[in-house]
């Protein structure tokens, strides 16, 4: 694992809407190292996708970057001009989106779409770019690329289109690949193929990858570091092992317990009670408190700071339960059971 290449500091983002200002991201801080895979996990609306799109500044026009910095190669991306940003997008920081069915231009052949990403950043002829596009298609496992580059997106299956998206995003060998729920729209069998492909390519190209997902199972075997987000904030961050074996935040417990597993015999799958807060009106104290069975009085008054977990240099959780004065709480029994499950399934590879 190399040096830090991306550093997000206290990022605050909101949207102007007809109803008022929606605070989608409320203070996100993390570092990404070269070659590292970070997984950002959380429910829909937790701000994971917004904070990642902010890195490439591909958010809609009503976005307000209220506060914070995104430092890449010594410069704050939020302060860069649009034209300077165009040189970073796709070339240094690339993205894959959730829905491969609609993320490709339906009236342009896939080969041209891949070649286009090369052409705008590199000085070469159309023919050379197309040759490279064919090469990239072969790299991501598309059959018969010499012929199929001429095909249009509707002639490919969902999994193949996502491979095209990956080829397109890797066209300039970026430093960072942001994959925004890249497997959500795909069949389960295709999901693991795509995840493995991204993981392989990451190693080949020495990229850093940020996975955005709401499915812990998806990231368990590819992530080095996991950040759990809730209501626009990171509530727990640590290595994959720390998050899966030693979760500290009640929200992380809830997430882990609500993962379906072949070994859980109980009929009903656990779900966290209640629903996420409306970020049009940011609640006082910890946003998770109303849904938290372990909430303390202070949770309703003051937002918990990050507490370091044990002596770990990497594991932090924002819960008052970790305060020295807090009562000792035992995680739900299900968590302990799950740890055993993880040991035998996902984490064997780590």
Partner 1 sequence: MGTYILKRLAISIPVLFFISVGAFVLVHLTPGDPADMYITPDMTQAQIELTRASLGLDRPLFIQYFDWISNFLTGNLGFSFGNRQPVLDIIGQRLSPTLLLMSLSLLVAYLTAIPLGIIAALRKDTLTDRFIIGWTFLNVSFPPFFLGLALIYIFAVKLDILPTGGMSVLGAENGAEDLIMHLILPVIVMASQFSANMIRYVRASVIDVMHQNYIRTALAKGLNRRQILWHHVLRNSLIPIVTVIGTDLPKIIGGAVITEQIFQWPGIGSLTVAAINSRDYPILMAIVILSAVAVLIANFVIDILYALIDPRIKYGK
Which residues in 60-99 contact partner 1 (CB under 8 A)?
A: 82-83, 86-91, 94-95, 97, 99
Which residues in 164-193 contact partner 1 (CB under 8 A)?
A: 165, 168-169
* Burial profile 269-306: b = 16 or more Cβ within 10 angstroms, e = fewer: ebebeeebbebeebeebbbbbebbebbbebbeeebbeb
Quick one: 52 or 335, whose CB is closer to partner 1? 52
Shortest Cβ 316–partner 1 spacing (Å): 30
CA 169 remoteness from chain centre:
16
Shortest Cβ 90–partner 1 spacing (Å): 4
Which residues in 102-131 contact partner 1 (CB under 8 A)?
A: 102-109, 116-117, 120-121
Distance CA 188, CA 169 (A): 22
In this structure, the number of other CB atoms found within 10 A of the CB of residue 155 comes to 12
Quick one: 105 or 157, whose CB is closer to partner 1? 105
Quick one: 209 or 257, whose CB is closer to partner 1? 209
Distance CA 344, CA 219 (A): 16
Quick one: 97 or 294, whose CB is closer to partner 1? 97
Shortest Cβ 215–partner 1 spacing (Å): 20
Quick one: 165 or 201, whose CB is closer to partner 1? 165
Q: Which secondary structure element, helix H or strand E, spans residue 24, and what is its range? A: strand 20-33
Instruction: State the number of binding residues for partner 1 (CB under 8 A).
Output: 31
Task: Output the six-digit token pair for 315.
Answer: 């594991």
Distance CA 128, CA 149 (A): 14
Q: Which residues bind partner 1 (CB under 8 A)?
A: 56, 58, 82-83, 86-91, 94-95, 97, 99, 102-109, 116-117, 120-121, 152, 154, 165, 168-169
């Amino acid at each position: 694992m190399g040096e830090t290449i991306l550093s997000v500091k206290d990022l605050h983002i909101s949207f102007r809407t007809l109803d008022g200002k929606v605070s989608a991201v409320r203070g996100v801080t993390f570092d990404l190292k070269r070659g590292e895979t970070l997984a950002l996990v959380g429910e829909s609306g937790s701000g994971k996708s917004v904070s990642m799109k902010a890195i490439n500044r591909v958010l809609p026009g009503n976005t307000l970057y209220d506060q914070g910095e995104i430092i890449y190669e010594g410069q704050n991306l939020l302060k860069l001009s649009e034209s300077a940003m165009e040189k970073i997008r796709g070339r240094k920081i690339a993205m894959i989106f959730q829905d491969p069915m609609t993320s490709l231009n339906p009236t342009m052949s896939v080969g041209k779409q891949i070649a286009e990403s090369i052409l705008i950043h590199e000085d070469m002829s159309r023919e050379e770019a197309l040759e490279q596009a064919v090469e990239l298609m072969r790299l991501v496992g598309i059959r018969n690329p010499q012929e199929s580059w001429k095909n249009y997106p509707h002639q490919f299956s969902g999994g193949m289109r996502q491979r095209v998206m990956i080829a397109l995003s890797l066209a300039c060998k970026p430093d960072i690949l942001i994959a925004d729920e890249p497997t959500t729209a795909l069949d389960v069998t295709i999901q693991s193929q795509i995840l493995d492909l991204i993981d392989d390519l990451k190693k080949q190209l020495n990229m850093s990858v940020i996975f955005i997902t709401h499915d812990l199972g998806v990231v368990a075997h590819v992530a080095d570091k996991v950040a759990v987000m809730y209501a626009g904030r990171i509530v727990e961050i640590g290595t994959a092992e720390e998050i899966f074996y030693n979760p500290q935040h009640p929200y992380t417990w809830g997430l882990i317990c609500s993962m379906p597993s072949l070994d859980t015999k109980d009929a009903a799958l656990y779900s966290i009670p209640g629903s996420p807060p409306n970020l049009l009106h940011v609640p006082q104290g910890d946003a998770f408190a109303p849904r938290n069975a372990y909430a303390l009085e202070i949770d309703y008054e003051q937002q918990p700071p990050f507490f370091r977990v044990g002596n770990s240099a990497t594991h932090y959780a924002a819960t008052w339960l970790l305060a020295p004065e807090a009562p000792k709480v035992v995680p739900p029994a299900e968590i302990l059971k799950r740890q055993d499950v993880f040991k035998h399934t996902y984490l064997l590879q780590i």
